[in-house]
Every structure is written in structure tokens, then in C-alpha cells.
Amino acid sequence: MIFEVTMREESEVWDVIVIGGGPAGSTVARYVAEGGKRVLVLDGRDPIGSPLQCGELVPTNDEMRKLCPNVPDIDDLLQTPKEAISRRTSEMHIVPPSGKPLRYPFEGLMLNRVLHDEWLVNLASSKGAVYITGARVESVEEEIVTLRDGREFKARVIVGAGGHNDPLRRDHWTESSLKIPIKFVLMEGQFGDAVELHFGSMAPGGYAWVFPKDNGANIGLGIQNKFARGVSLNSLADEFISKYEGDVTFRGAGSLPMSGTIKHFVKDNHLLVGDSAGMVLPSNGAGITIAMVGGRIAGQVIVSHLENGTSLHEYEKEWRLQMGAVMRNSKLSFKIGSWIMRLPDWILNLAFNPLTKPFVWRFVTCRKPFFIF
């Protein structure tokens, strides 16, 4: 449900404007609206969520409780509806270049991501959030948000949830993030039950994935260009995807921030959330649910700020309480992993073995990579 904004609403001062109605932005909007505040979401796409730019894998709520033990009330935050779930998976395979996987129990949900994001929009709308789609934000200055078509909107608090190219982050933050370019396809066919992450020279500095869906799979690959020795993402992706047989029904590409959260998410009345703040766990690429964790904290703190004058910096403090340790471990795992993954394939094949199996899992699930630090 997308509300049309009237002339009167265009000239009013909103409590909150959110740039971007993805998982981060729609979650902020939901909690701000639940807190009784007037929130406007501006998104450049129409409809929001299309075209697909995702591997579509999220952990179940039970897995999220293990992954992020300090995040409260996960069932309220993550209410994935049945129609947005393409398949449930029960195992994760970590696959070295030899192709011989290490197998782990892992309950995942393969989404229909487009439906998932539409559902989040509908949820926030049902609480009272107002959306304008096809509204590309050009710039933000203090309380004014200007669209590419010249329209201006005003709010007391402005949230940048525009993903890895968010205009608020671009214009008002200097810190940079490492971005990993990604190519992926949807392929028809049967691909078993396990989600697979592949590591080695097929995806320098990154990883490839095969995530089975209801009828087919989401298959993709992301790399760090500096490790690719001049080989292009296109040729690496083509080579990996060509190992699988099936009709390709969709081709997509995107970019993922992989250096973890930036130092500060708040400046004056401006906040960043989701990919724009680097809220992706670099050791496993999880961004959807993590953006929603950030979105809920931001939304709740904004309501409290507007009602009682609570400092917006409480958002950063609460984020650190809920996600600080997980993000720290994930960043460290990614740094160590990036170094290990530069080793020749034959060493990686030796390194992924039954003895190292528990350590590999600690890396992927953002726990301290070694028991002592």
C-alpha cells in the first residue's frame, strides 16, 4: 500500500524523513510510526524492492538468537510471512576449491526477497508510515531533503537508509567502506537442501554461493578487485555459474559494504542505518536481518528523542550493546579470512579439514575466531 502525498503534506514539517524503504528504512519507519510519530519514506525505486539485488538467504529466528544473542525480542522484529519464504534449508556447506564440503546444521530461510521487502513496506504503511516511490533524493541539508525533480521536504530528523550509495552518507560522512561487487543469477532446477558458500581462487577475497530455492537456486559470486589480479568479476562469475545446469531466468548485480559498521551513525539530526552505516556482517554477508536490528534501534531512539529529548547518540550506544561484539568478531574474522583466502587453492584444501571444522564455523558465525581472543 503506497500513500500518495498531498500538497499539504508536501509543505508540512515531518517528524522523520527516511531515505530508502529497504529493510533498514522500512523498519525505522515501522517503529517510528508505532511510536505515534509522522514519518515519510522517500524511495527512488518503484516498486520498492525491484529489481532483485540479493542472494535471498536469511537465518531463521532461532539461528538469529544464536548469532546475535544480545538482540532482544527477535520474533517481534522479524516476522517473515509465509508467502515471502521460498524454501527452508537445514544445512550449510562450506566448500573449499576441492569441492569437498564441511557440513554444518543451519536453519535458513530462502526468501522471495521482492515479496519480503514489499511486505515490510506494507507493515510500516499499516502503522501509518507514508511512502513516496520514484522519489530519488538528490541532497540533504540540515532539515531539508531535496529530490532530483526539485521537490523539497522538511523533517526534524532525517535517516539515511539508502543502501551502499546513500546520499546522506555520501555528502555528510567522510569515512569510506570497502565495497564488494557481486554478480548473481536465478537458475531453474533442483539444487538439494543445503546452502553452499564456496571459497578459493574462484572468488578472490570474497566467496561464491549456491542457495537452493523452491524450484531453482540463487547462484552468485563477489570478489575484492584488489585480489583478482586483473581477472574481471564477469569472467569469474560466468565461470562459476557455468558449472551448474539449468535455465537462467534472471541476472542481477550489486555491491555490498564489507568492512563492517562505520565509527559514527549520528550527526546532529541525521542518522544512518543499514548498508549506509555498514551494517553487514563481513564474515558471512548477512545484511537484511542486521539492517532490521539497526532499524528498530534507530526508530525507537528517534521516538524517545522526539518525545523526551533523549540524545540520538543513544542509538549508537544501544547498537554497541546489541551488536558490538558480533560485529567486532565478524570484522576480525573477515580480516583473517581475507588473508587466508589469498593462499593457493591446494593449501586451502588442506586447511578446510575435520580438525579445523569448528574454527571455520566460528569465523562464519561471528564468534571469536579462536577461543582465546
Ligand X SMILES: Cc1cc2nc3c(=O)[nH]c(=O)nc-3n(C[C@H](O)[C@H](O)[C@H](O)COP(=O)(O)OP(=O)(O)OC[C@H]3O[C@@H](n4cnc5c(N)ncnc54)[C@H](O)[C@@H]3O)c2cc1C
Rg (CA), the chain: 20
Stretch near ligand X under the rule CB under 6 A, chosen from 16-24, 63-71, 242-250, 263-271: 16-24
| CB nearer ligand X, residue 277 or residue 348 | 277
Residues between 53 and 112 that touch ligand X (CB under 6 A):
53-58
C-alpha grid cell, residue 307: 518525545
Q: Give the C-alpha distances (Å, rounded to integers) separating 59 from 127, 289, 290, 294.
A: 26, 8, 11, 16
In the complex, the smallest distance separating the C-beta of residue 113 from ligand X, rounded to whole angstroms, is 8
In the complex, the smallest distance separating the C-beta of residue 346 from ligand X, rounded to whole angstroms, is 29
In the complex, the smallest distance separating the C-beta of residue 121 from ligand X, rounded to whole angstroms, is 9
Contact 118, 47 (CB under 8 A): yes
Would you count residue 43 as binding ligand X (CB under 6 A)? yes
Smallest Cα–Cα separation from 213: which of 61, 80, 111? Answer: 111
Coil, strand or helix at 308 = helix
Q: Which of 15, 34, 118, 275 binds ligand X (CB under 6 A)?
A: 275
Would you count residue 278 as binding ligand X (CB under 6 A)? no
| CB nearer ligand X, residue 96 or residue 257 | 257
Separation CA 194–CA 173 (nearest Å): 40
In the complex, the smallest distance separating the C-beta of residue 193 from ligand X, rounded to whole angstroms, is 17
Any idea what DSSP says for residue 317? Answer: H
Coil, strand or helix at 310 = coil
Largest CA distance in the chain: 66
Residue facing ligand X at closest CB distance? 287
Smallest Cα–Cα separation from 294: which of 341, 261, 328, 270? Answer: 261
Residues 6+ apart with CB under 8 A from 72: 322
Would you count residue 45 as binding ligand X (CB under 6 A)? yes
In the complex, the smallest distance separating the C-beta of residue 147 from ligand X, rounded to whole angstroms, is 8
Stretch near ligand X under the rule CB under 6 A, chosen from 223-231, 287-295, 313-321, 343-351: 287-295
The residues of the shown chain that bind ligand X, judged by CB under 6 A, are: 19-25, 42-45, 48, 53-58, 136-137, 161-163, 165-167, 182, 184, 254-256, 274-275, 280, 285-288, 291
